[in-house]
Amino acid sequence: MDNEIRFFDPRNETHSGLSNLFERPIELDGIPYLTAEHAYQAAKARDPQIRAWLMAAPTPELSAIVGDSLTAEQTVPGWNDRHVDLMSRILRAKYDQHADLQALLLSTGDAKLVEWAPEDGAVARFWGEFQGRGENTLGKMLMGLRAVYRHADRQGEPGDQALPKPGSGP
């Protein structure tokens, strides 16, 4: 696709700020997190000690690896029913709290946004695409948020609409 922006690496791309691995703190429900990825992975853990480690993991990549490795017994009940809504809230916090990242998102125009995963797997294909195949849920959520901000700009008011829900998965 000609009008497609692929992102993943949080350090080496023009659109690296779109990645949840991008090192920018957020606050969600009054709790500070090192990155959006830290917030998402920490919310998954049932055990408070594991949650604390995920919140403080040295890198967002490590938080993701450990969080994605949690067993069903280590994961909060109902995770599969609520994780997409949680990601929506995390993205909203990230882009509401950082005007430069909101500007980056808006600068993508009408491009299709694709989290371009470097490795294959169920999680990679749910949130993004691997070699062009996957649900690209994160990309769709970002395009939805971009539309909310664009609409709010046209209306001259803060974007307080909810993000569209692309579905559920891993």
Full-model pTM: 0.89
pLDDT tens digits, 159-170: 555 554 555 555
Domains and their CATH numbers in the chain: 4-155 (1.10.357.40)
- Report the pLDDT value the prediction gives residue 12, as an integer from 0 to 100: 80
Q: What are the angstrom distances between the C-alpha of 119 and each of 11, 17, 122, 128? A: 17, 20, 10, 11
Average pLDDT over residues 21-29: 97
Asked if residue 112 has pLDDT above 60, the reply is yes
CB-based contact 127:138 (threshold 8 Å): yes
pLDDT on residue 158: 56
What is the average pLDDT value for the chain, to the nearest integer? Answer: 91
Q: What is the pLDDT of residues 38-73, one digit of tens each?
A: 999 999 999 999 999 999 999 999 999 999 999 999
Give strand pairing partners of 5: 113
pLDDT for res 147: 97
Q: Cα angle at 116 between 9 and 121, to 5 degrees?
A: 105
> Taking residues 77-102, what's their average pLDDT?
97
Between these two residues, 58 and 12, which has the higher pLDDT value? 58
Q: What is the per-residue pLDDT for 13? A: 80
| pLDDT recorded at residue 159 | 53
What is the rounded average pLDDT of the residues 99-128?
Answer: 95
